[in-house]
Amino acid sequence: YKSLSDDSRGSLERTGMLFHVMGKRYGKIVEIADKLQSLLKSLPGTEVGLIDDQVFIQDVDITNLAEDKQYELGLKRIVIDFNIWR
């Protein structure tokens, strides 16, 4: 989803996103989720995208981190909910 900010970020555009990390071994998905969180925290002040269509990232905030089990699939899951501000 996208929206214009109504908080202290002024007129920046917000794009909400989710990462779903799934696997059979809990320790492995925690390791991957930790690396994704570190990556997200390193993005502010960088440009991402294709050479002709880059976006400058002003800020990133992680709004929720949830864990559950997908019983039908026999997998554990971590969901990282975050916003990119540009």
Main-chain dihedrals φ then ψ at residue 33, nearest 5 degrees: -60, -40
From the number of C-beta atoms within 10 Å of its C-beta (0-12, 13-18, 19+), residue 84 rates as buried
Report the C-alpha gap between 53 and 28 in whole angstroms: 34
Confidence of residue 1 (pLDDT cuts 50, 70, 90): very low
Structure tokens given for 53: 């269509």
Q: What mean pLDDT do residues 49-70 have? A: 92
Nearest to 45 by CA among 85, 5, 72, 6: 85
What tens digit of pLDDT does each residue of 34-55 get?
Answer: 999 999 999 999 998 888 888 8
Could you tell me what percent of the chain has a pLDDT over 90? 73
